[in-house]
């Protein structure tokens, strides 16, 4: 039985390549419809993809920032941290207290850095590199590290000053640079420190004692309050809901929700336009493919009748146009991918100056190519099977006597 199918397959292939001129026409007709569709999809996917990627990749777009200062306790912060839609949250202290003078042996001058409370999982920091921890390991922003001329692993010296008991008091704080933050994450001079260290700095300035660092002062702080927080939503799609929830509880926050919404609206608009074109294109594509395969089977009725005459079964007759349809589908698809490749390359090349190096305006993923092949092969097979059944139904005597 299998021998018969193999034979049928071999004959169908022979016929297809024997009639290479007509086969090329079918392949061209298919590629002429499929190629532009791929370009269209590549553009839609590339443009929207680049915008969404920019939004998703950039943690600043996920930030939810309280406006002004409030009064939040640790329990409230911890409750927020447990929320599904919150990726990261650390408390902030008063901004006056959150600066630190830092010097290094290499630079030989003292610089004022903004101190940013941080913790493992901080979206602004590289997850591959160590996070700030303890009271001595800090992460410097790229510009701060450059000014201090230090690299990860180097030591720097922090120093802070307070007015205590009517006199100026200065303490020094030996620090180690655990890592340097990516330049894109934070553009100013900053020092990412653990929450514990930030609290210690605030306590010292307020004249409290910090036993862990042997800093003297009045009582140790127990009931601590924060004036703000650094919060990042799990994804850009959670930002709007988070903003709503804060505003309902009376906390005024600032987010990029408007930006995000405009990109999403654009995505929806582009998608709608694309699908409208794609549906029309797919309709035309199926019709053209179906019609050409159908016409081809009709043209071959006599030859198929000869096969019927010498004893081919219905299934083997149907296999004939199916095999040829699959050849057309495959070659047409390959050519369409070629057309797409050339078009995409030139579009990306022309628009390269306007784009960041890695961005591509016209782009497809391997699964898109696979889907295109599957749809094409499926449509060809369907058309070929229908045409093949019709051919097999024709009485061989009719087919043979065709003029």
Partner 1 sequence: MPASTPETIYQLKDVAKTRSSNGYTFGLRVPSLRICRGEKIALIGESGCGKSTLLDLLAFILQPSDAGDFSFCAGAAGTVDIGAAWRRQKRNRLAALRKAHMGYVMQTGGLLPYLNIYDNINLSRRMLGMPADDTVENLARELGLVRHLHKLPDALSTGERQRVAIGRALAHRPAIIIADEPTASVDPFAAEKIMSLFIGMVEERNITVIVASHAWRHIKQLGLRRLAHHTRRSADGRMIETVVSG
Binding residues for partner 1, rule: CB under 8 A, are 3-4, 7, 11, 14-15, 18-19, 302-303, 306-314, 392, 395-397, 400-401
Select 10 or 273, whichever has its Cβ closest to partner 1. Answer: 10
Min separation Cβ 382 and partner 1, Å:
23
Is residue 400 within 8 Å of 349, Cβ to Cβ? no
Select 166 or 311, whichever has its Cβ closest to partner 1. Answer: 311
Distance CA(77)–CA(53), nearest Å, equals 29
Min separation Cβ 364 and partner 1, Å:
37
Select 132 or 399, whichever has its Cβ closest to partner 1. Answer: 399
Select 125 or 394, whichever has its Cβ closest to partner 1. Answer: 394
Min separation Cβ 21 and partner 1, Å:
13
Min separation Cβ 306 and partner 1, Å:
5
Select 224 or 401, whichever has its Cβ closest to partner 1. Answer: 401
Select 1 or 75, whichever has its Cβ closest to partner 1. Answer: 1
Min separation Cβ 273 and partner 1, Å:
46
Select 52 or 400, whichever has its Cβ closest to partner 1. Answer: 400
DSSP 1: -
Q: What is the DSSP string of 130-183?
A: PPPBTTTEEEE-HHHHHHHT--TT-EEEEEEEEEETTEEEEEEEEEEEEEE--T
DSSP 249: T
Min separation Cβ 402 and partner 1, Å:
10
CA distances from 122 to 19, 80, 139, 403 (A): 64, 15, 11, 79
Angle at 172 between CA 167 and CA 176, to 5 degrees: 160
Min separation Cβ 377 and partner 1, Å:
23
Min separation Cβ 15 and partner 1, Å:
4
Secondary structure of residue 294 in the 3-state scheme: helix
Q: Which of 25, 79, 45 is nearest to 229 (CA)?
A: 79
Select 236 or 318, whichever has its Cβ closest to partner 1. Answer: 318
Q: Can you list the pairs that 28-31 forms with residues at least 24 positions away whose Cβ atoms lie under 8 Å? A: 28/332, 28/335, 29/288, 29/289, 29/292, 29/332, 30/285, 30/288, 30/289, 30/292, 30/328, 30/329, 30/331, 30/332, 30/333, 30/335, 30/336, 30/376, 31/332, 31/333, 31/335, 31/336, 31/338, 31/339
Min separation Cβ 384 and partner 1, Å:
18
Q: What are phi and psi of 58, to 5 degrees?
A: -85, 110
Q: What would you report as the CA-atom Rg of the chain, rounded to the nearest whole angstrom?
A: 34
Which tokens is 266 given? 């654009």
Strands 190-194 and 137-140: antiparallel
Secondary structure of residue 52 in the 3-state scheme: helix
Select 62 or 301, whichever has its Cβ closest to partner 1. Answer: 301
Select 41 or 312, whichever has its Cβ closest to partner 1. Answer: 312
Min separation Cβ 290 and partner 1, Å:
24
Q: Which of 384, 91, 395 is nearest to 226 (CA)?
A: 91
């Amino acid at each position: 039985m299998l021998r018969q199918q193999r034979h049928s397959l071999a004959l169908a292939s022979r016929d297809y390549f024997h009639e290479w001129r007509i086969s090329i026409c079918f392949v061209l007709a298919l590629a002429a419809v499929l190629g532009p569709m791929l370009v269209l999809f590549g553009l839609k996917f590339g443009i929207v993809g680049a915008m969404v990627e920019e939004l998703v990749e950039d943690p600043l777009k996920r930030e939810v920032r309280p406006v002004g200062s409030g009064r939040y306790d640790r329990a409230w912060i911890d409750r927020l941290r447990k929320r599904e839609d919150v990726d990261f949250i650390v408390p902030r202290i008063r901004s006056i207290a959150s600066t630190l003078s830092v010097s290094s042996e290499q630079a030989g001058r003292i610089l004022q850095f903004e101190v940013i409370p941080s913790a493992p999982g901080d979206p602004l920091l590289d997850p591959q590199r160590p996070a700030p921890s303890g009271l001595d390991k800090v992460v410097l922003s790229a510009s701060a590290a450059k000014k201090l001329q230090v690299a990860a692993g180097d030591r720097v010296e922090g120093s802070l000053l307070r007015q205590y008991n009517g006199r100026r008091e200065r303490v020094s704080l030996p620090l180690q640079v655990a890592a340097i933050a990516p330049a894109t994450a934070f553009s100013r001079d900053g020092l990412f420190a653990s929450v514990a260290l930030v609290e210690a700095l605030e306590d010292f300035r307020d004249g409290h004692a910090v036993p862990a660092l042997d800093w003297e002062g009045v009582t140790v702080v127990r009931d601590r309050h924060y004036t703000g927080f650094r919060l990042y939503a799990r994804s850009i799609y959670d930002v709007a809901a988070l903003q709503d929830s804060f505003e309902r509880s009376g906390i005024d926050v600032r987010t990029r929700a408007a930006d995000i919404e405009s990109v999403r609206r654009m995505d929806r608009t582009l998608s709608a336009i694309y699908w409208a074109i794609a549906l029309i294109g797919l309709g035309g594509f199926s019709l053209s493919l179906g019609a050409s395969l159908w016409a081809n089977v009709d043209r071959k009725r006599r030859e198929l009748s000869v096969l019927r005459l010498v004893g081919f079964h219905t299934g083997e007759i149907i296999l004939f146009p199916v095999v040829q349809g699959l050849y057309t589908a495959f070659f047409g698809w390959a050519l369409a991918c070629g057309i797409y490749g050339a078009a995409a390359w030139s579009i990306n090349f022309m628009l390269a100056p306007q784009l960041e190096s890695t961005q591509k305006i016209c782009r497809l993923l391997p699964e898109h190519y696979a889907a295109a092949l599957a749809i094409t092969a499926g449509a060809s097979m369907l058309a070929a099977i229908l045409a093949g059944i019709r051919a097999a139904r024709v009485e061989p005597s009719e087919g043979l006597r065709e003029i």
